[in-house]
Chain A
Amino acid sequence: MVSEEGQLYTIEGVAASILILTTVYLVLSTTTIFTPGESHIYDMQLEQLGNDALAVLDTSPTWSDPYPKSSLELSLEDISKAPEFNTTFLELINSGIGQKPDSIKYNATVISRDSSTGELVRIPYSGSIYHRENAVKVFRWVNIDNTAANGAAKDTENQTVLFEVLLWRG
Chain B
Amino acid sequence: MGLNSAEKIQKPSKTSIPVLDDSGQLSIDFIVGFTIFMITLILAITMTSGLLVGLQSKKIDYDAVAYRTGVVLVEDPGEPTTIINYPTITEQDEWERIGYDQRDLVKRFGLTAYKSTPRILTVQKVLGFFNPSMWPNLNDYEKRMIFSNYPYHFNVTLKVQGEPPLYVGEPYSINSNYGYIRRIVLVKEESNTDDGAVGGIDSYLYREADPISDPTGEFNVRLDYDTLLNKDWGPTYWIEPPKEDIVINLANVSEIKNDLDSTVTDSTLNTIRIVYYGRLLSGGDATGDLPLPVTAIIDGSSHTFPYPDPFPIEVPVNRTVNITFPAGFFIPPSAYAHIQLISMNISFRFNESTVHLAKHNNVYEYNFGSQGFMAPTLKTGILEVRVW
Write the residues of chain A forming the contact surface with B, with a CB cutoff of 8 angstroms: 1-2, 4, 7, 10-11, 14-15, 17-18, 21, 25, 28-29, 31-33, 35, 37-38, 41, 44-45, 48-49, 52-53, 55-56, 59-63, 65, 68, 92-93, 95-100
Contact = CB atoms under 8 A, between A and B. Distances in A.
B43 A21 contact: yes
Nearest to B383: A97
Interface string B55-83: 10101100110010010000000000000
A17 B33 CA distance: 13
Contact of A41 (B55, B60, B382): B60
Contact of A56 (B57, B165, B185): B185
B129 interface: no
B211 interface: no
B377 A61 contact: yes
B236 interface: yes
Interface stretch (B46-54, B84-92, B201-209): B46-54
Interface string B347-388: 000000000000000000000110000011111101010000
A98 B29 contact: no
A97 B50 contact: no
B327 to A, nearest CB: 19
17 contacts: A2-B30, A14-B37, A18-B43, A29-B53, A31-B54, A38-B60, A44-B67, A45-B63, A45-B182, A52-B119, A59-B236, A61-B186, A61-B377, A97-B165, A98-B157, A98-B172, A99-B174
A29 B63 contact: no
Interface of B: 22, 27, 29-30, 32-33, 36-37, 40, 43-44, 47, 50-51, 53-55, 57, 59-60, 63-64, 67, 70, 118-120, 157, 159, 165, 172, 174, 180-186, 233, 236-237, 368-369, 375-380, 382, 384
A41 B119 contact: no
Nearest to A38: B60
Contacts of B382: 95-97
Contacts of A1: 22
Given A37-B60, A52-B119, A96-B384, 8 more contacts: A2-B30, A11-B33, A49-B183, A56-B119, A61-B186, A63-B233, A97-B159, A97-B382
A97 B379 contact: no
B119 A32 contact: no
B184 A49 contact: yes
Given A14-B37, A55-B119, A56-B119, A62 B377 contact: yes
Given A7-B29, A97-B159, A21 B47 contact: yes
Contact of A14 (B40, B157, B184, B185): B40
A7 to B, nearest CB: 5
Nearest to B234: A63
B57 A62 contact: no
A98 B378 contact: no
A59 B43 CA distance: 62
B238 to A, nearest CB: 8
A52 B184 contact: yes
Contacts of B51: 25, 28-29
Contacts of B47: 21, 25
A97 B384 contact: yes
Contacts of A37: 57, 60
B384 A59 contact: no
Contact of B375 (A2, A31, A44, A62): A62
A48 B119 contact: no
A60 B55 CA distance: 45
A160 B337 CA distance: 46
B186 A59 contact: yes
Contacts of B379: 61
A133 B118 CA distance: 31
B174 A98 contact: yes
Given A59-B378, A62-B237, A2 B27 contact: yes
Given A21-B44, A35-B57, A63-B375, A41 B157 contact: no
